[in-house]
Structure formats: structure tokens, C-alpha cells
Structure 1
Amino acid sequence: MRKGAERAQALPPEWVERLNQALFASPEDARLLEDPVILAACRRANRAELLHWANANMQRPGEPVEPYVSADMVDTARELAHRGLSELLMNVARSTQNTAWELWMKMAFGLTQDPALLEEFLDVSSRSISEFIDSNMRVITQIILEEKQAQAHDDHVDKRSLVSRLLDGRDIDTEQFGRRLGYSLAQKHLAYLVWSETAEAQVGELQDLARALANLTGATSALIVFAGPATLWAWSCVTKPVDLLSLQSAMARFPTLRAAIGAPASGLNGFRRSHLEALTTQRLMGRLAGAPPLASIDQVRMVSLMTQDARATRQFILSTLGRLASEPMVLQQSLHAFLAQGCNVTQTAEMLGTHRNTLLRRLERAQDLLPIPFAEHRIQIAAALELLIWSTPQDESER
């Protein structure tokens, strides 16, 4: 038992990957994909709970393991209770338990060939894993009940509840709701989501970024709503054109945060539509490894449509870009920027901060690697490069 716990304590990459995949064992559980903050918290909790169980069995093999519910899971339980999705945690816990048991059994057959010892080992292991998960679920169930009881008393002053009623599409008195929120619903709105996928998210930083983005739209104040343990919903009045480059520059002061922007729109319907667009943008950013820290709905419309089928997307990239798809990102980004600048070499070199001659060499090399004529397939090539850049992890794209 101790030897097996030692292997589990090392967090084999295959185990971590399988446990992460277990979060989406059913179509219902796939709703976790819609919120990158909750998804990241569940992944961290998976690793933390595995380490807790393994460490306990290294110290006291086979003995009952004390329940362990990390801060991530406490926050997630409260958030899902607020959304009425508490059952997701139960589903995920059972899926994780099944996957952990499969990994443990596979490892067990490599530890001993003695049938009697193997039977005893698996029996003890099964009870230990099951009892640990059950005890964790009892703690989480209590947290959920307490959160629901607190909501019953606090809903009348809960800003998020007011905003949720607006977003649900109900017939409401916009002037009355505007007064209660301290924000006019009759103006032109820009909605944005601000969040962090790290365990050390600071609410103050999230608020500072939300206000900084609002200032860049010409607003003097913003409606900011706490939507989760590390997520803010925000709206501001748009009084000037939105400059995406300025918004992206503002992100430099907040390296651990991310933001998704909707399109400006007026009135109550615009309030709702801009928020839904920001949500769509956030979901795509959470799904694609190469998403930038800040993105707008205008940037992701095409990418969102073209990444619904991952296999077809990959095939399109490979058939369009050929060998260029596996070359250093500097070549892909140079050709992408060249196309974005209307094939103007001077403007592209200025935008990239690259010498003109260096850029020309990169463009020539990139076009040589394409399997199709560049001049005749510019639109397809631009689309494939956009998809590739969004799908490539940021740390790889910077190499």
C-alpha cells in the first residue's frame, strides 16, 4: 500500500491527465468547460486531493483518511450552489473516483503477482478511496446547504441576483432596476468579464482591472458584479470608440488576469447581448490554449464557428499550411501579421517591430513551406493561421 501511495504521490502525468478528463465524463459535466475559473479550480482540487490521500497512505497505509476539501472546492461548491448546479460536483466526484480506481488497479497488477495479496490489497484500496470520496462529499454537501440558506436571507440585497433577473430576459421596470443598481440601463453598454485562473486571485486586482477597462471606454464609473470566487461581470457606458490595443495594453499591469469583451450595444437588450457575447468569448478563451489574455467578440466570431469540430479544424490547418504548421511561431505570426496588414510590408514591419529585410526573409520562408499557392489562397491561409495561433499555448508561441 505504501509503495503504491509513493507512486501516486509523484503525480504521474498520465494520472493527472486522466483525472482532468474525468471532469467531462458526461455531457452534463461538460458544462464545466463553460467557466475556465471553475475548470481550473477543479483541476487543482483533483491534484490536491490525490496528494492528500497518497500522503496519508504513505504515513498510515490502509487506515481511514481524513476528509480534505481544498479552498478551491469550497469556493466552487458555493458558486455552483448559487447557480443551482450543485449536482455537477457530485457527478464529478463519482467520475473522478471511478477514474482513480481504474488507475490504481492498473498500477496494482505491477506491484504483486500474488493472487491472495493482490485481492487483499485491492479490497483495502477500494474501501479507502470510496470512504475518502464519501467523506469529502459530506463536507461539500454541508457547505452547499449553508450557502443555500445564506442566499435565502441575502437575495434581497444581492446585486448579482438583480443582474441575473435582467439577463434572464424577464419583463422588468428598467428605471427601477437602474436605480437599485446605480447604473442606467438606457445608455450604450460595453460588457466585459474579468477573471483569474490562478489559486491566488485577489479581488482587489480584479476590480482594478475592471475599472481600468471602463476608463478606457470613456466611462467615469462601471457596474461591477461579483459572479464567482475569481470572476467579475462588468458593464460601462461607451462614450468613445473602443480601442482594442489600449485595452490589451492595460492588461500588462495584470499578468495573472484575463478579460473577455462583448460588442457595444444600447438599452436593456444591448446590456444582455453584450454580456452574452463576452461569455461566448470567455468560453472560447478557456477552450483554446493560445488565447491571449484579453479578447473581444469581434476577434473570436470566426474562430468560435471554426473550432466546433476539433478534428476538422486540425485537418483544415494541416491541409492549408502544410509544413508551416510545425515551424517556429515567428514564421506563422509574421505571415499572419502580413495578411492582417493588407500585405503591406512596411506596415507589418512597424507593427512587429522587425527590420524590413528580416521580415521579407521570414515571409519568403513561410510561403515556401505552404502546400498551396499563396496569391490564390490568401483567405484560407489567413483563416488557418488565425486558428493555429489561437490553438497554440502561449509559452510555445513565444519561443
Structure 2
Amino acid sequence: MTWVDPAPRTRELIRQAAERALQNPDEWVTPVHEATLSAPTTAAIAADPALADALRRANFDNLLAWATANVRAPGDRVPPNTSAVQLDVARDLVRRGLDDVSLDAYRTGQNVAWRAWMQICFELTRDADELEDLLLVSSTSIADFVDGTIGAVAERMAAERDELTRGSQAERRDMVALILEGAPVPRLRAEAVLAHPLDGDHVAAVVWTTDRDSDLGRLERVAEELMRAFGARQRLTVVAAASTLWVWLPVATAPDRAALEAALRRTPEVRVAIGNPARGVEGFRRSHHDAAEVRRLVARLGTADQLVAFADVQLAALVTRDQARAEEFVAQVLGDLADAPAELQETVRAYLAELGNASAAAARLFTHRNTVLRRLVRADELLPRPLASDPVRIGVALEVLRWRTVEGA
């Protein structure tokens, strides 16, 4: 593409527009996130919290790279974005078999970003000649940048695909994908590929990190701690993404939760979701789906807990499948109690868990019975309906609220 040197006035307008975009990047980037993750072609990416978060980072990284370049040298050609963020996303998508559809997200993001950019341009000048030149140069620059970035990402995907097809990790991942999809794979063949028994008990886990700069070594160490906590002698581990491991343990026992939580505190950026124990090939599949559901719930509600088991959140997972309706349910049932101090909510939860026994609730909370009674009176003042008249719905609403952080509330 022949690059035309923009006029000085056009360069100045591009610089001003880029500065405006960088002043409120979230306002510019959020519509791009929503559009790229709501497209039919990216439904599989949107359904996976790790991949969705990676795509959001890639969108932000692209917009930041282009705008920053045009503040520094407005109107100059912007080189393709080959940052670690873009290349990590490419690797993750290939590992999940989603590379064929993922590049569409770049085009979708380009179209949405262009509309936001035009709005900024229209606010800067109403001179027809200036505006025409500004839009022409901008559209050429954005298209060239996106084309180059797509090309670089596609090259990385090709290299990653070639690398994965040569290793046993790819064969294990492909076999796991077939099992999870319910394909009629002969058990003995699957066990030979995975080097993992499928006819016994299984507990699945998803191990991931919230730190994009963290390495797989940290996740592997947590997987080792997970194995020790369950008393397992072996594990099956599949790299699902640069920031995520899928783990299966051939056990049906409960973990040493205190030891595992203590180990996790040494890596505060790592999270673990654990499925229910199950047996056989179907159990291998179901326990993983449980753990993946916990992972999605954690992303949806934003809980900060490092270790969450499916048994902990099964009720909340069912209720919050439709998040908007879940929020409405919590607000209607709890009223002002939804915004009350955590100790008041925890007292009501403990009281309901002890079937209305205030003394047992006090023992569970390590407090005095009179303190529990005073808190219950206060809770009744905040609830739309008295606790005694609606205990089941109040208990469910509090269970949903329990897994939300302050930021997610």
C-alpha cells in the first residue's frame, strides 16, 4: 500500500483525536468488547472466561497501540501489533481449536472502533475539507494496521498449530476434547493416549491465573499441591490456554482443604475450581463440566475466593444462569439486607443452616446467642418479608449473594 503523507492540519487533528480516545479508553474499548464477544462466530470464545478475558485484553491492546502511535507520530503508518498480548491470544485460540473463527473478531472490533473514532472526528471539526481528509487518512491507517496485525496473528497461529501437531500434548488435548464432546472413543484407546485410567473415580479441576504475566510453572506447582491435597499419586494435565490448566485426579476422596488453601496463599494470583467426584468416562466428563461451571460462575459473580468447589456453589450456579434475573431475585427477596454488613448476612445464613436454632448459630459464628438474636431482629427490619415467613427464598438469595464480591455486587 502506498502511504500518502498527510497535511499538517490533518496530522494535528489525528493527534487531538487520539489523545481524546486515550483520555477515556474504556468508553472507546467497551463497545468493541461487547461486539466481538456477542458475534455468533465468537460464541465459543465468549462462553470461556479465560478466552473471553484474553480477547478483551487483545482488543484493549490493539486500540491502545494504534492511538498511542498516532499521538507520538500522527498520520504515520502504524506497524502491526505483535505484542505478547496478541501472540498469547493466538496461541490460546489454537490450543482450543478456535483459530478458524477468531480472526473475525478483529474485523468486528475494527468496525465498532471506526464508528467511535468518527464520532470523535466530528466533534473536532465541521470543515468539510478537513473532515474528508481526516476520515480518509484515518480509515486507511486503521485498515492497514488491522490487516497487518491479523497477518501477524495468523502467522503465529500457523506456527503454534504446527508445533502442537508434533507433540504428545496435542494428542492428549485432542483426545480429551473428543471425550468431553461425548464422542464414542474406545476406552482402552483413550487410556493409552492419555496414560490415565478412565474406568475408575475422577475429580476434575480447572487451575488458572489472574496475572497475565504469570507462567505455566506456577500453575503446574499448584496442580502438584492439588494432587497432594487429594492424596492422589498421579494426575492428567492438559494445557487449555496460556493461563489455564485442566486437571483430572483418579480419586473420589475429599481434599485436605486447609492444606490446599494454605498452599494457594503462596500464589495469590492462582485460582482453582473443583468438580464433584464421579466415576467412569461419563464421570470424567461430568466432573470437568462441574469445574468449568464453577470457573464461569467465578467470572460471572467476581468472587475473590482462590478455591471454590462445585458443591460450594451448586445452588448459586443454578440460580445465576440468567444473571439479570438472579440480580432481580436477590433484590426482591432481600431488600435492604442485600446491602447490609456482611456479618448480618452471615448471621442469617448461619441461623437458617442451623434450622432456626439461635444457640447453634451462635456456636457456629463464635459469638453470643444474644448477639445473634439482635442481628436477627435487625435483619427482619431490613427484609421485605419477615425471615420466618420466607426462609427458603431468603436462604437461596443469600447463597447467591455469598459468591459476589463488593465489585460484583
* TM value normalised by structure 2: 0.87
Structure 1 residue matching 2:351: 3-state secondary structure: helix
Could you tell me how far apart the structure 2 residues matched to 1:51 and 1:161 are? 35
Could you tell me how far apart the structure 1 residues matched to 2:231 and 2:149 are? 48
Corresponding position: 1:264 with 2:277 = yes
Superposition pairs for residues 1-399 of structure 1, below 5 Å? 1-154=14-167, 158-175=171-188, 177-238=190-251, 240-242=253-255, 247-290=260-303, 292-349=305-362, 351-352=364-365, 358-390=371-403, 392-394=404-406
Change (3 A) 1:104 1:156: closer
Could you tell me how far apart the structure 2 residues matched to 1:293 and 1:140 are? 32
* Counterpart code for 1:263: N
* Counterpart code for 2:405: P
Q: Which runs of no fewer than 5 residues in structure 1 stay unpaired?
A: none
> Which deviates the most, 167-176 or 44-53?
167-176
Could you tell me how far apart the structure 1 residues matched to 2:182 and 2:121 are? 54
Could you tell me how far apart the structure 1 residues matched to 2:233 and 2:348 are? 40
Asked whether the equivalents of residues 263 and 297 of structure 1 are also in contact (C-alpha less than 8 Å), the reply is: yes
Structure 2 residue matching 1:61: 3-state secondary structure: coil
Structure 2 residue matching 1:186: 3-state secondary structure: coil
Could you tell me how far apart the structure 2 residues matched to 1:211 and 1:17 are? 38
Asked whether the equivalents of residues 23 and 30 of structure 1 are also in contact (C-alpha less than 8 Å), the reply is: no
Change (3 A) 1:189 1:150: same
Change (3 A) 1:257 1:215: same
Could you tell me how far apart the structure 1 residues matched to 2:391 and 2:118 are? 53
* Counterpart code for 2:70: N
* Counterpart code for 1:88: V
For residues 29-80 of structure 1, the C-alpha deviation after alignment (integer angstroms, 9 at most, x for no partner) is 2322322222222222222222211111012111110111332321221222
Could you tell me how far apart the structure 2 residues matched to 1:365 and 1:177 are? 58
Asked whether the equivalents of residues 37 and 197 of structure 1 are also in contact (C-alpha less than 8 Å), the reply is: no
Could you tell me how far apart the structure 1 residues matched to 2:188 and 2:284 are? 14
* Residue 132 of structure 1: how far off its partner (Å): 1.0
Q: Which runs of no fewer than 5 residues in structure 2 stay unpaired?
A: 1-13
* TM value normalised by structure 1: 0.89
Structure 2 residue matching 1:192: 3-state secondary structure: strand
Could you tell me how far apart the structure 1 residues matched to 2:208 and 2:22 are? 31
Q: How many residues align?
A: 396
Asked whether the equivalents of residues 336 and 382 of structure 1 are also in contact (C-alpha less than 8 Å), the reply is: yes
For residues 70-110 of structure 1, the C-alpha deviation after alignment (integer angstroms, 9 at most, x for no partner) is 32321221222233311332221122112211211222222
Structure 2 residue matching 1:253: 3-state secondary structure: coil
